[in-house]
Amino acid sequence: MAESWSFLDTFEPNFRPLVVIELAKGTKEETIEWFTKRIVDKKANGGAQLLIKPLVTENGDENIYLVGASHLRLLLGAETVGLVKECNDNSMRTFTYSSRKTFKDFADDNHDFLTMAECQYIIKHELENLRAKDEKMIPGYPQAKLYPGKSIVRRLLTSGILVQIFPLHDREELKKLRHSWYGRVKVGYQPLDEIRCYFGETIALYFGFLEYFTFALIPMAVIGIPYYVFAWEDYDKYVMFATFNLLWSTVILEVWKRICAIMTYRWGTLLMKRQFEEPRPGFHGVLGINPITGREEPVYSSIKRQIRIYLVSLPFVCLCLYFSLYVMMIYFDLEQWALDYHEENESNFSSLMLFVPSIIYAVVIEIMNRIYRYAAEFLTSWENHRLESSYQNHLILKVLVFNFLNCFASLFYIAFVLFDMKLLRQSLATLLITSQILNQFAESLLPYWLQKRHKKRMKKRMCSLKADTDLSLVEQVNLEKEMGTYFGTFDDYLELFLQFGYVSLFSCVYPLAAVFAVLNNITEIYSDALKMCRVYKRPFAEPTANIGVWQLAFETMSVISVVTNCILIGMSPQVNALFAESKTDLILTVALVEHLLLAIKFIMAFVIPDKPRDIQIKLAKLEFESLEALKQQVRATDMYNSEK
Amino acid sequence: MAESWSFLDTFEPNFRPLVVIELAKGTKEETIEWFTKRIVDKKANGGAQLLIKPLVTENGDENIYLVGASHLRLLLGAETVGLVKECNDNSMRTFTYSSRKTFKDFADDNHDFLTMAECQYIIKHELENLRAKDEKMIPGYPQAKLYPGKSIVRRLLTSGILVQIFPLHDREELKKLRHSWYGRVKVGYQPLDEIRCYFGETIALYFGFLEYFTFALIPMAVIGIPYYVFAWEDYDKYVMFATFNLLWSTVILEVWKRICAIMTYRWGTLLMKRQFEEPRPGFHGVLGINPITGREEPVYSSIKRQIRIYLVSLPFVCLCLYFSLYVMMIYFDLEQWALDYHEENESNFSSLMLFVPSIIYAVVIEIMNRIYRYAAEFLTSWENHRLESSYQNHLILKVLVFNFLNCFASLFYIAFVLFDMKLLRQSLATLLITSQILNQFAESLLPYWLQKRHKKRMKKRMCSLKADTDLSLVEQVNLEKEMGTYFGTFDDYLELFLQFGYVSLFSCVYPLAAVFAVLNNITEIYSDALKMCRVYKRPFAEPTANIGVWQLAFETMSVISVVTNCILIGMSPQVNALFAESKTDLILTVALVEHLLLAIKFIMAFVIPDKPRDIQIKLAKLEFESLEALKQQVRATDMYNSEK
């Protein structure tokens, strides 16, 4: 079986370590033997046909394994997962082993045809699709039940035998990427294609969206600055700014779809066929027959899930929303108290005190958001969704609703109940800036600092044990396995979503919000890049063709912002002065304008095509070719039959 | 070549006439020879491999041909067009000749496996896909240019050599269908599956929608009757009725999608793959290379088309809209004049005169709609769209906007400018009822009467020529070729769309509208059925999976009706009395309720799944199977490669 892998034969020619498997310490010998045998076994015998070697650490533990694969195996795997690559004629096609010669840069000895991220994705896919045959349980662990077709890796993970699987960093590549990404001071685009090669499409698309969104905010910011500098308060200028904002936000969201299509076409994910979704790891139920696959697997009644959603989760979310509103009322009491204090003893200190309630509230909001996040994850996991996508959608919905109310309720209250535009502006500024500072700190700087400290400690310990400089691989694995895990782009998108809310919902009251958003996003790009490269374990690449449900979330926000901005403008004293004789006329006008703007938004979204013309033509061409191929096949049958 | 087909050998065993081709009188012999040769030629030689026989009429003209096909040919054609049929295990699958034994009711001698409509659709598809090879022109007609890949039939049609192609009726089947459809007086559903077998999916889906829509209107009608009977004028009752209407219309449109999915799954069209769209017959341009197919075909610059659309069509439509508004103003002058006349000399005659302007206006609206329809068709055709679908979308958009304004502008004017609820009710009733009567008359009764007269004349002439009773086939062809052509479901859907507007836009003012709509639709079902069976040529079956752009049109109407109903309720004196002290509060409340209703609508549309669960599972099962099949293929390659 697999030979031992010591820190001396790092450069064995046929084995390039790609993925690390960490088993629990003290895992039974028979389990390890069975698991590694299944991994190296031939596909024909139901194995994954990969290469695996134990990593011997300084204390002799054999609980870490390195997984790799032969070049041929990876190419066949690329066909299995349906990778799309560029052909010699510059068109994008699904890779098949038999047509490999037609692909650009393909050569039998070119091991860079597949990027390392793609290789790691293929290995992850193969490992996850390693399925139980006739085993009733994991050897050595009778309580870890198996049934035919159950993913072995997922059962090992849920029963705690497998601690983690993660892809290794490529230190050379990472160094290069770091340099071109944030290493030098420069004005320009991010190296999105390189990011995609290293981290995969989901993460590259997030950075692409972040960059696009920042650029898209610049016009708003530029137009917003004179409002602050010259303290413009004219009615017509505000209306112009708000109208521009509303139409602009529709345009940027529509244009993003087009840019996204261009990028994902180039990356091949736009053409990738959706794979059949297996149940998510945490899904449990009694064994039954899946009506779709006809296979035996856990089945959980949809009615039970509906009951959990509507009778437990929904009331809980409502309770949380109520609690959030309650906290908001406390904030207003504090605010009032600070105002009273300021009026009683007017001093520099007391005027500074005016900002304290807002800052405290912003901190409390952040804390509540984070606590609620855990509760939402727990609840959604307890709802026992069969598919990861369904789990994600329910989680996102729960988190979005709460975060929206939590962040914006106080602003709505100030705007539409207290009618205090000055306070609104002040609250908005405090909330926006505080949350940005907190986020930057909690997201990257804190983990980075912890990571730095940990690394130093590790290095010291390592060095004290052996005075060897050739430790790199063992050291690298040991370092990386202790790094935090990146849980996906959810939090990053959520932050952008809330920022979009701050910028667009009340844009006509505080035009400077866009300026802060732009400034924040520029540093965000760098701190997120730092986070990806330095703080977290390398995540597995995840092919994706768009930003999914976030597109819908941003579009909904832009619809809501039409309503809020129209009301705000209608409430402004300048507009009220204009309609001095009749308040009814004012409201009717505002309502009319609002409906017109909404109608224009929908028409614009309808008229702007989601994909640029050349991408449309390329897609149509591929579709046409596959239809033609099918016809040729039919025609061949026709001829055969007619000649009989 | 094809033998002559006289009126004696009607029952030749291997030839069942399915489709009639009528050439222009005096078509050159060489053209006919070339065309028929191409039709009977083997697929391998680029022919259609169909059977064709001339029909000798009493005056010896050989300009009508009957087309049929062998049973095997039709089965192979079914595979080419991608028909989906039911398997022995009750699942729906794409038919392939090699797997023919697994399909329900398949037997080599069962010639009813494909319905006659399917056979005719296959023949139409094969004829339209008969493409020029190296011919530069149609033999005998040097001005009718051809280029490789150009559809011969389309060129023959556009150059006038081919007068028409139409499928033959099956008199036995038609008789049965007529009987079960409208032959006996009964309460119950239409035989949609039989209609689909005879006329194809598009027409069956229209009748399905018509029936569904009628049933869906019944609750509205039932609730509306007491408002009329008891002359209820209470505020809360009207609000209840309007709210019910608005939510109900959302529900019925969502539920229709589900019902439509169930029907089209059963008919196989839900699973049918979209075929590659060829240019529409009327499309012209200079020869160039199509970027998608790489084939030589006419190319027309998209910019030129955009210029035509935005600089000619759009201004023309706007002009028509302006004209329509102008006519509306004349109507109001007439209305005023009638009112003055009534006041001056009050009599029975003068009170009847009050209705005259409305009736005249309704007639004028109908006439304008019909004239505009021709203009819109001419313009859209002149815009030179490459695809039939694009042509249809532009035509539908043009016609919808004009019809909407033409029909509803006066009502909007009365409601929101004149604030005259009594006049609104009266106008609504007159417009609705007059347009219904006109439609029924112009659509079916008039053509039916003309058809009857024509048939009698034909019969008389035939009988006078020969005292033979065995004329049936020749007579049938001669009769059917003179019948009108059914131009698709456009007008029928448009009528329903406008009716939906009358019912929903002002439902809270005139609850009785739903009652008239139901009554009209019941007779509409019968008159449309009569029209399909008796008046028009049999149309070619057209597979479709949904009602397409009409779903969107109906949904847009239901959104607009939320706005109109909220305003109408806000304007009612009862509601005004409720908010006597503050008109501002009233408007704000109305705006709030409107936004809430719109939000509920969107959430409902989002929450109700478009396909029922069992259809979703069946579709997922099919997708899973095809993915598995692909995997098996890959696995086989894997094994092959790993064993090498």
The three-state DSSP-derived secondary structure of B38-98 is: HHHCCHHHCCCCCEEEEECCCCCCCCEEEEECCHHHHHHHHHHHCCEEEECCCCEEECCCC
Residue B6 has pLDDT above 90, yes or no: no
Find the mean pLDDT for residues A87-106: 86
In A42-168, which ranges are E strands? 51-54, 64-68, 84-86, 92-94, 137-138, 141-145, 162-167
Band of pLDDT at residue A470, cut at 50, 70 and 90: very low
Residue B315 has what pLDDT? 95
- C-alpha B529/C-alpha B544 separation (Å) is 20
Q: Give the predicted TM-score (pTM) of the model.
A: 0.87
Band of pLDDT at residue A634, cut at 50, 70 and 90: low
Q: Which residues of B touch A49 (CB under 8 A)?
A: 638, 642
Find the mean pLDDT for residues B448-461: 72
Residue B550 has what pLDDT? 92
Collapse the DSSP code of B298 into the 3-class scheme (helix H, G, I; strand E, B; otherwise coil) and give the result.
strand
Residue A26 has pLDDT above 80, yes or no: yes
Band of pLDDT at residue A633, cut at 50, 70 and 90: low
Residue B235 has what pLDDT? 67
- C-alpha A355/C-alpha A357 separation (Å) is 6
Domain boundaries, chain B: 19-168, 300-384, 613-643
Helix count and strand count (H, E) for chain B = 22, 10
Q: Which of A109-123, A187-201, B565-579 has the lowest mean pLDDT?
A: B565-579
Q: Which of A437-441, B2-6, B294-298 has the lowest mean pLDDT?
A: B2-6
Q: Helices (DSSP H) in A286-443: which residue ranges?
A: 302-307, 314-344, 348-353, 356-382, 388-413, 421-440
Chain B residue with Cα closest to A623: B276
pLDDT tens digits, one per residue of B62-102: 788 999 998 888 998 888 888 899 988 888 888 888 888 88
A417-420 — which CB contacts under 8 Å span 24+ positions?
Answer: A419/A571
Chain B nearest C-alpha distance from A442 (Å)? 35
Contact between A165 and A124 (Cβ < 8 Å): yes
The mean pLDDT of chain B is 84
Q: Which residues of A touch B72 (CB under 8 A)?
A: 641
Residue A34 has what pLDDT? 92
Q: Which of A289-293, A366-370, B526-530, B634-638 has the lowest mean pLDDT?
A: B634-638
- C-alpha A188/C-alpha A178 separation (Å) is 15
Across the strands, what pairs with B484? B536
C-alpha distances (whole Å) from A4 to each of A52, A57, A571, B486 are 10, 11, 75, 79
Contact B639 A44 (CB under 8 A): yes
Measure CB to CB from residue B635 to each of A43, A98, A638 and give the nearest one: A43
Contact between B127 and B51 (Cβ < 8 Å): no
**Chain CA centroid to CA B135, Å:** 36
For chain A, how big is the Rg over CA atoms in Å? 29
For chain B, how big is the Rg over CA atoms in Å? 29
Phi-psi region of B630 (alpha: psi -120 to 50; beta: other; left: phi over 0): alpha
Contact between A434 and A358 (Cβ < 8 Å): yes
Burial class (CB within 10 angstroms; exposed 0-12, middle 13-18, buried 19+) of B564: buried
Find the mean pLDDT for residues B339-367: 85
Contact between B189 and B168 (Cβ < 8 Å): no
Q: What percent of chain A has pLDDT over 70?
A: 91
Q: Helices (DSSP H) in B345-445: which residue ranges?
A: 348-353, 356-382, 388-413, 421-440
Band of pLDDT at residue B468, cut at 50, 70 and 90: very low
Measure CB to CB from residue B641 to each of A76, A563, A641 and give the nearest one: A76
Band of pLDDT at residue A205, cut at 50, 70 and 90: very high
Contact B583 A584 (CB under 8 A): yes
Residue B642 has what pLDDT? 52
Residue A578 has pLDDT above 50, yes or no: yes
Measure CB to CB from residue A620 to each of B275, B292, B623 and give the nearest one: B292
pLDDT tens digits, one per residue of A412-469: 999 888 888 888 888 888 888 888 888 888 776 777 787 777 777 766 665 544 444 4
pLDDT tens digits, one per residue of A126-145: 998 888 888 888 888 888 88
Bigger pLDDT: B523 vs B447? B523
Q: Which residues of B touch A595 (CB under 8 A)?
A: 563
What's the one-letter identity of residue B193? D
Contact between B113 and B103 (Cβ < 8 Å): yes
Q: Which residues of B touch A306 (CB under 8 A)?
A: none
Q: What percent of chain B has pLDDT over 90?
A: 27
Residue A635 has pLDDT above 60, yes or no: no
Residue A233 has pLDDT above 90, yes or no: no
Find the mean pLDDT for residues A34-51: 88
C-alpha distances (whole Å) from B422 to each of B412, B432, B565, B571, B618 are 13, 15, 16, 13, 53
Measure CB to CB from residue B44 to each of A49, A617, A639 and give the nearest one: A639
Q: CA-CA-CA-CA torsion for B30, B36, B42, B48, nearest 10 degrees?
A: 130
Residue with tokens 């109408």: B568
Contact between A285 and A299 (Cβ < 8 Å): yes
Residues 614-643 on A with a CB inside 8 Å of B are 617, 620-621, 623-624, 627-628, 631, 634-635, 637-639, 641-643
ipTM above 0.85, yes or no: no
Bigger pLDDT: B623 vs A518? A518
Contact A642 B44 (CB under 8 A): yes
Residue A576 touches partner B, C-beta closer than 8 Å: no
Band of pLDDT at residue A548, cut at 50, 70 and 90: confident
Band of pLDDT at residue B4, cut at 50, 70 and 90: very low
- C-alpha B549/C-alpha B401 separation (Å) is 14
- C-alpha B152/C-alpha A542 separation (Å) is 49
Residue B7 has what pLDDT? 37
Contact A80 B634 (CB under 8 A): yes
Dihedral of alpha carbons A89, A95, A98, A101, sign: positive
**Chain CA centroid to CA A254, Å:** 20
- For residue A53, count other CB atoms closer than 10 A to its CB: 19
Residue B11 has what pLDDT? 40
Chain B residue with Cα closest to A625: B293
Residue B465 has what pLDDT? 47
Band of pLDDT at residue B459, cut at 50, 70 and 90: low
Dihedral of alpha carbons B342, B346, B351, B352, sign: negative
In DSSP notation, B123-173 reads: HHHHHHT-B-SS-SEETTEEEEE--TT-BHHHHHHHTTSEEEEEEPP-HHH
Measure CB to CB from residue A587 to each of B97, B588, B637 and give the nearest one: B588
C-alpha distances (whole Å) from A196 to each of A205, A262, A487 are 8, 14, 17
pLDDT tens digits, one per residue of A250-286: 899 999 999 999 999 999 898 887 777 778 877 888 8
Q: What percent of chain B has pLDDT over 70?
A: 91
Residue A273 has what pLDDT? 77
Residue A460 has what pLDDT? 65
Measure CB to CB from residue B584 to each of A44, A276, A583 and give the nearest one: A583
- C-alpha A266/C-alpha B431 separation (Å) is 56
